[in-house]
């Protein structure tokens, strides 16, 4: 069983703030982490390997510093990693990202591909399904539980608005997973040692055999026109006085709204 | 294209360094330098007081598809167990406006369900409905959905395609975009037409919702967007509205997945946050899981339900089903009471369309106050018990 996990290194968005004076992100001191949903994808891959045997390969596309994310994946116990990195990939939207990942994965051989449901920086949830379409394999998104897995097929629970569906698929298949699926393991000491020593295989544009017009900014149908801070409300009323006076004023307002 | 620094103008002030979401700017010999981590987001360009950061184009940058052949606005109307989801009517509301502005037709696409349901789409704004009643669409499987929608788009060439940002839309629409080689913008909260170019301006939260971004798809068609439920206004219902239902068949649909069971989880969320009038929501400021007991009491007193920020859910204080915001639910109750929630935009985008927002936070600078109707500066663990007491007195 060949299991591939696609991960992304992201800024820890919980720490990102906007500077209202300049309308820009304050990124100082914000750490880079493995996208939290991707940790669940790695854990799911390791658990499948424990059941069926096989090999787990983690792949990421990103700048050279994304190597840190791959080392962290190694420390969790994955067998192999690939860093897809080239200046030509810069500015890629989800189409161009999916295309580059597809070209990279195509050569690796795969039975199951796992992704986190979305990355917390872009929050698009598009790359997983797009990679599946490029590879011409089925996918199941928002997987919250893997019920059974064999060398030919898999049965999972897919989160829907009002509950979940039980979905079966033949292999190969791509799954995107949600947090409920598992609790990611912590790196082991042995894993940390392995991570330190590991030589990271880097794949550039030529190595994955991608056409330049399909990657990076050139290959991206969408463009970011501008970014801005969300608008503030104009009619806000800060209640005044001691805490008790403020609460009294609020009860008064709620009374006016016929809530009391 | 590349973003570069004009070192003649650069004063080395360093303002651009903090603006870069990818830490790709450094100071070298007292001048800013953009290294290979640059993702071309342009965030630095607007902060440079000297205008020293500029965009330069490289050969072969612009690819132009023949976009003039694409006309009309399409809405994908998703159904569950044969009933059209309410997000489809919201898309018709948004789509009607766009179509009128572009002086073009609005069409809906319905897979599965019945002709009677298709008529409802016309009454709510569609000029035409492409309806495929094939039983393959009874349960949701990504492959037949994406195959048929791709074929229809190739056949009719709409310029805009909208779908709901639901588990269904967000799962299969990316396959359609991949196959068509066109842009897809996820989870839009606002849509406008650029009056100069006629392009669709797709506005969505980005970077965990801490900022908003306007996304364009200038050279490819259709321009595809998924739209967040409960953000757009429903299309007006007019029982006399006329339109055409076009029945569609496709014999080549295939499917390698199979839905064997559908489980409704009543307990998944005891009270559906999207249907209550009052939500009392808690965040990191509560301090611990016990804080939610207090919020439950307040919610019960007001006849509402309890929500939570991602921070509180991540701490394990309350179940994910209560989460409001970008990665949780979008809500718009009559009254939203935010207790100890600082207001990261990823939370704000999920609740800022509430009619009245009451914010309780000890930090007067917390961004939640920017969207609040009423603000109380104070410790939630002091304010909320007092509020409960006063409400009880008022009721008595």
Cα gap A77→B142, rounded to integer Å: 32
* Pairing between β-strand B160-164 and β-strand B73-77 as defined by DSSP bridges: parallel
Q: By residue range, what is the domain housing residue A186? A: 2-214
Q: Which residue has the higher pLDDT, A221 or B210?
A: A221
Does some domain include residue A242?
no
Q: How confident is the model at residue A74 (pLDDT cuts 50, 70, 90)?
A: very high
Q: Taking all residues of chain A, what is their mean pLDDT, rounded to a whole number?
A: 91
Q: b/e per residue, A141-171, with b = 16+ CB within 10 A?
A: bbbbbbeebeeeebbbbbbbbeebbbbbbeb
Averaged over B25-44, what is the pLDDT? 84
- Residues of chain B contacting residue A16, judged by C-beta atoms under 8 Å apart: 21, 207-208, 210
Does some domain include residue A251?
no
Cα gap B190→B29, rounded to integer Å: 43
Q: How confident is the model at residue A25 (pLDDT cuts 50, 70, 90)?
A: low
pLDDT at B224: 98
Mutation target vs A (from B327, B328, B354, B361; most A CBs, 10 A cutoff): B327
Distance between the two ends of chain A, CA-based, in angstroms?
62
SS3 B103: coil
Give the C-alpha distances (Å, rounded to integers) separating B262 from A141, A225, B81, B146, B167: 15, 41, 10, 21, 14
| Chain A residue with minimum CA distance to B302 | A259
Cα gap A93→B213, rounded to integer Å: 13
Q: Burial of A60 by CB count in 10 Å (0-12 exposed, 13-18 middle, 19+ buried)? A: buried
Q: How confident is the model at residue A122 (pLDDT cuts 50, 70, 90)?
A: confident
Does some domain include residue A249?
no
- Residues of chain B contacting residue A88, judged by C-beta atoms under 8 Å apart: none
Percentage of chain B beyond pLDDT 90 is: 67
pLDDT at A260: 65
- Looking at the complex, does the CB of residue B356 fall below 8 Å from at least one CB of chain A? yes
pLDDT at B328: 81
Q: How far is B98 from chain A (nearest CA, A)?
A: 19
Percentage of chain A beyond pLDDT 70 is: 90
Q: How far is A206 from chain B (nearest CA, A)?
A: 18
Does some domain include residue A59?
yes
Averaged over A51-79, what is the pLDDT? 96
Structure tokens at B201: 């301006």
pLDDT at B21: 72
Q: How far is A146 from chain B (nearest CA, A)?
A: 14
| Chain A residue with minimum CA distance to B311 | A14
SS3 A75: helix
Mutation target vs A (from B16, B24, B272, B376; most A CBs, 10 A cutoff): B376
SS (H, E, C) B20-62: CCCCCEEEECCEEEECCCCCCCCCCCCCCCCCCEEEECCCCCC
SS3 B244: strand
Most confident of A37-41, A222-226, B201-205: A37-41
Q: Which domains does chain B have, with CATH numbers?
A: 2-56 (3.30.70.20), 67-247 (3.40.50.620), 278-395 (3.40.50.1220)
Give pLDDT tens digits for B93-106.
Answer: 999 999 999 999 99
* pLDDT higher than threshold 60 for residue A249: yes
Q: Does the beta-carbon distance from A141 to B167 stay under 8 Å?
A: yes
Q: Does the beta-carbon distance from B373 to A130 stay under 8 Å?
A: no
Domain of A11, CATH number, reads 3.40.50.620
Mutation target vs B (from A222, A238, A248, A249; most B CBs, 10 A cutoff): A222
- Residues of chain B contacting residue A69, judged by C-beta atoms under 8 Å apart: none
Complex confidence, ipTM: 0.89
CB pairs under 8 A between A and B: 319
| Chain B residue with minimum CA distance to A95 | B178
Q: Does the beta-carbon distance from A141 to B170 stay under 8 Å?
A: yes
Q: How far is A59 from chain B (nearest CA, A)?
A: 18
**Tally of domains within chain A:** 1
Q: How confident is the model at residue B124 (pLDDT cuts 50, 70, 90)?
A: very high
A9 phi and psi, to 5 degrees?
-90, 130
Q: Does the beta-carbon distance from A90 to B375 stay under 8 Å?
A: no
Q: How far is B119 from chain A (nearest CA, A)?
A: 25
* pLDDT higher than threshold 50 for residue A138: yes
Q: Burial of B165 by CB count in 10 Å (0-12 exposed, 13-18 middle, 19+ buried)? A: buried
pLDDT at B268: 40
Give pLDDT tens digits for A181-194.
Answer: 999 999 999 999 99
Q: Does the beta-carbon distance from A236 to B22 stay under 8 Å?
A: no
Q: How far is B310 from chain A (nearest CA, A)?
A: 9
Q: Which of B166, B186, B261 sits opposite A123 (nearest CB)?
A: B186
pTM equals 0.80
Strand partners, A116: A177
Cα gap B185→B191, rounded to integer Å: 11
Q: How confident is the model at residue B113 (pLDDT cuts 50, 70, 90)?
A: very high
pLDDT at A164: 93
pLDDT at B382: 94
| Chain B residue with minimum CA distance to A92 | B39
Cα gap B48→B55, rounded to integer Å: 13
3-state helix, strand, coil in chain B (%, to 5): 30, 25, 45
Q: How confident is the model at residue B183 (pLDDT cuts 50, 70, 90)?
A: very high
Q: Does the beta-carbon distance from B47 to A257 stay under 8 Å?
A: no
């Amino acid at each position: 069983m060949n299991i591939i996990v696609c991960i992304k290194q992201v800024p820890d968005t919980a720490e990102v703030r906007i500077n209202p004076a300049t309308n820009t992100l304050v990124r100082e001191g914000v750490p880079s982490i493995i996208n939290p949903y991707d940790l669940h994808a790695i854990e799911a891959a390791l658990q499948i390997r424990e059941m069926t045997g096989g090999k787990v390969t983690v792949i990421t596309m990103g700048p050279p510093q994304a190597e840190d994310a791959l080392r962290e994946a190694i420390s969790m116990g994955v067998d192999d990693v690939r860093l897809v990195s080239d200046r030509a990939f810069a500015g890629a939207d989800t189409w161009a990202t999916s295309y580059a990942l597809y070209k990279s994965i195509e050569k690796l051989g795969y039975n199951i591909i796992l992704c986190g449901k979305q990355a917390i920086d872009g929050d698009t949830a598009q790359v997983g399904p797009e990679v599946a379409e490029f590879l011409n394999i089925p996918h199941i998104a928002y997987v919250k539980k893997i019920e059974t897995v064999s060398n030919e097929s898999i049965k999972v629970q897919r989160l829907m608005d009002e509950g979940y569906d039980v979905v079966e698929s033949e292999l190969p298949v791509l799954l995107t997973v949600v947090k409920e699926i598992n609790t990611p393991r912590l790196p082991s000491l042995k894993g940390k040692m392995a991570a330190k020593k590991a030589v990271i295989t880097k794949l550039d544009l030529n190595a994955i055999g991608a056409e330049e017009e399909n990657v990076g900014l050139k290959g991206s149908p969408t463009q970011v026109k501008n970014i801005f801070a969300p608008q503030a409300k104009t009619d806000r009323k800060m209640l005044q006085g001691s805490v008790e006076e403020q609460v009294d004023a609020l009860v008064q307002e709620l009374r006016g709204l016929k809530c009391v | 294209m590349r973003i570069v620094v004009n070192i003649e103008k650069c004063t080395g002030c360093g303002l651009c360094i903090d603006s870069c979401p990818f830490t790709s700017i450094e100071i070298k010999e007292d001048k800013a330098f953009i290294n290979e981590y640059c993702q071309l987001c342009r965030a630095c360009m607007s902060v440079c007081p000297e205008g020293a950061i500029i965009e330069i184009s490289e050969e072969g940058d612009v690819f132009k598809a023949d976009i003039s052949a694409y006309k009309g606005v399409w809405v994908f109307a998703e159904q569950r167990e044969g009933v059209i989801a309410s997000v489809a009517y919201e898309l018709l509301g948004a789509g009607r406006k766009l179509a009128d502005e572009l002086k073009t037709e609005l069409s809906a696409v319905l897979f599965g369900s019945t002709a009677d349901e298709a008529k409802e789409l016309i009454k709510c704004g569609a000029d035409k409905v492409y309806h495929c009643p094939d039983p393959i669409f009874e349960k949701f499987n990504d492959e037949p959905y994406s195959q048929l929608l791709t074929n229809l788009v190739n056949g009719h060439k709409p310029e805009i395609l909208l779908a709901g940002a639901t588990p269904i839309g967000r799962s299969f629409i990316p396959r359609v975009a991949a196959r068509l080689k066109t842009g897809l913008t996820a989870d839009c909260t606002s849509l406008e037409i650029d009056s100069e170019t006629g392009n669709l301006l797709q506005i969505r939260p980005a970077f965990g919702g801490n900022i908003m971004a306007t996304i364009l798809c200038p050279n490819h068609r259709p321009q595809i967007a998924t739209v967040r439920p409960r953000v757009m206004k429903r299309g007006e219902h007019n029982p006399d509205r006329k339109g055409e239902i076009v029945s569609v068949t496709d014999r080549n649909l295939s499917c390698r997945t199979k839905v064997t069971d559908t489980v409704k989880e009543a307990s998944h969320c005891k009270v559906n946050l999207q249907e209550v009038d009052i939500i009392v929501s808690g965040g990191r400021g509560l301090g611990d899981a016990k804080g939610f007991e207090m919020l439950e009491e307040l919610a019960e007193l007001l006849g509402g339900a309890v929500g939570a920020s991602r921070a509180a859910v991540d701490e394990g204080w309350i179940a994910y089903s209560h989460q409001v915001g970008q990665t949780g639910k979008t809500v718009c109750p009559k009254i939203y009471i935010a207790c100890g929630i600082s207001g990261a935009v990823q939370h704000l985008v999920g609740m800022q369309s509430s009619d009245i927002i009451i914010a309780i936070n000890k930090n007067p600078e917390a961004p939640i106050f920017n969207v609040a109707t009423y603000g109380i500066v104070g410790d939630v663990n002091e304010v909320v018990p007092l509020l409960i007491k006063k409400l009880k007195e008022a009721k008595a």
